[in-house]
Amino acid sequence: MTAPEYWQHPDIIQARAMPMINRHTLAVQDQLDSITTSFPPNTGILSSYKVNRLHRQIDKWREAGFYSSNELAARASYLRRRRHIESNQAFELLLLAAFVEHYSNILNDTAPLYEAVAREKYHVFTGEEIDNTPYNPYSTILPNGSTMAVMVHVEASHRARRMSRTIHSYLAGGEDDEALFYDMTTREMNTARNQLLKKREKGGFSGIMERVMLFAIGYAVYEALKKKDSDGEAGYYVFHAVMDGATTENCLKLDGKRIPIKDAVLGVNLPPIVAPPHPCRSWVEVDNMRGRGIIERGKNVATHGNIQEKLKKGEYVDTVVTNKGNIIDITPTGKHSVTRDNLLKGEPNSSVDILDREGGFATRRWFNESGNQFKDVDFTDHSRPAKHPEHPHEHGRREGRKGSKK
């Protein structure tokens, strides 16, 4: 499997989620003018009529379940007990409620999509269904102990505060200009929408909803790997980083590593890797090798002792066992060649075998979509066994720093 194949279905799901997010962010914007007109800020203490009107609205929120946001619940409960309410307090509460309402609707509308993509990934890894009970991706516990639902509600609160500052800035200008009001609030809502989900120029998506989906997939893959391990079908998985120019150092260090399933930790060595926060598109494959030296790939495997012989015969080799018993994935790309030149740039998404002066195979090198080298596997100890006690051995290279080994 390749990265595009792995992410094909998730990208389809995100494309379906985007119209839902756009619809609800537009609904927030539609409410802004009404809120500003009905409960304008900076107008002092509310009349008793408006206080009663606000209290009735708070009661409706409680009945509708919008108290899922802790901040909204705290603010609303406080103002429900008060008869003297500042206009700014009411304005900011209504603004917060608008964001929480529609962000909650986003959660409800997208949950089935992200549940579907999680179940699909579990099925890909196990051939079975995850289980017969409902699975809510927003309830998945994150490495920090929170949930994605909490993260979305925190974002709603943040956006409400940003919008409040934008509207206060407009009012401070003293202009009664509907076009200017619309322009300022539209820019803020566009930013809010992009923070939720945005299509990236190089493919894929970014934003909070992308992280929601990635963790839904990560959780499903974690459960699938544990099942494979407990059933005795596999004991390891292989980590693959996507070399797209935004690859973090953490993912670079993990790329190509064969990791015991029992050591898998979501967010640490199982995607999505969470430090720093980013749209991590790394992915994993099940490795059916239960232990070192037990390989099920058959004719495509070489050892440190026969790798040269096999490559010189032109045999296809995608796996090599080192003199220490470790296993390295050396799968060539579809665009693979052999050269005597120590190429630091190559054809995008290609690989090359570099020959030494005697015609032996010294290095297999991979180039990313920009044609920059990002990984080497050296087949020898460079005649320096003390410095390179293991051979073959792998070198990762940070993109853009030609020739510098990590």
Tens digit of each residue's pLDDT (9 = 90 or more) over 228-269: 888 777 788 888 888 776 778 888 888 888 888 888 988 889
- Residues near 168 by beta carbon (within 8 Å), at least 6 away in sequence: 41, 42
Does 215 reside within a domain?
A: no
Domains identified in the chain, total number: 2
At which of 209, 239, 274 does a domain end?
209
What is the model's pLDDT at position 384? Answer: 85
Is the domain of 339 the same as that of 205?
no
Is the domain of 18 the same as that of 162?
yes
Is the domain of 182 the same as that of 328?
no
3-class DSSP state of 336: strand
What is the model's pLDDT at position 358? Answer: 85
- Omega of the bond prior to 276 within 30 degrees of 0, cis? yes
Does 362 reside within a domain?
A: yes
Tell me, rounded to whole angstroms, the distance of Cα 96 from its chain centroid: 27
pTM of the model: 0.66
Does 283 reside within a domain?
A: no
End-to-end CA distance of the chain: 27
Does 97 reside within a domain?
A: yes
Whole-angstrom distance, CA of residue 94 vs CA of residue 102:
12
Is the domain of 26 the same as that of 152?
yes
How are the residues of the chain apportioned to helix, strand and coil, as percentages rounded to the nearest 5? Answer: 50, 15, 35
DSSP assignment of 129-175 equals -S-SS---GGGPBPTTS-BHHHHHHHHHHHHHHHHHHHHHHHHHTT-
- φ/ψ of residue 366, rounded to 5: -115, 145
* Amino acid residing at 162: R
**What is the torsion angle, in degrees rounded to the nearest 10, for the CA atoms of residue 47, residue 89, residue 178 and residue 101?**
-110
At which of 209, 244, 266 does a domain end?
209
What is the model's pLDDT at position 221? Answer: 92
- φ/ψ of residue 71, rounded to 5: -65, -45
pLDDT digits (tens), the chain, 406 positions: 677 888 899 999 999 999 999 999 899 888 888 898 899 999 999 999 999 999 999 998 888 776 566 788 889 999 999 999 999 999 999 999 999 888 988 999 999 999 999 989 998 888 887 765 556 777 777 767 778 888 888 899 999 999 999 998 888 887 778 888 889 999 999 999 999 999 887 778 888 899 889 988 998 999 999 988 887 777 888 888 887 767 788 888 888 888 888 889 888 899 988 765 567 888 898 876 444 333 344 347 788 888 888 888 777 888 888 887 788 888 888 788 888 899 989 989 889 999 988 888 999 999 998 899 989 999 988 888 888 888 899 887 544 333 333 3
- The residue range of the domain holding 338 is 298-396
Identify whether the C-beta of residue 341 lies closer than 8 Å to the C-beta of residue 216. no
Does 179 reside within a domain?
A: yes
Does 113 reside within a domain?
A: yes
At which of 209, 238, 253 does a domain end?
209
Is the domain of 195 the same as that of 70?
yes
Give the strands of the sheet with 301-303, arranged side by side: 301-303, 319-321, 327-329
What is the model's pLDDT at position 401? Answer: 37
Is the domain of 204 the same as that of 326?
no
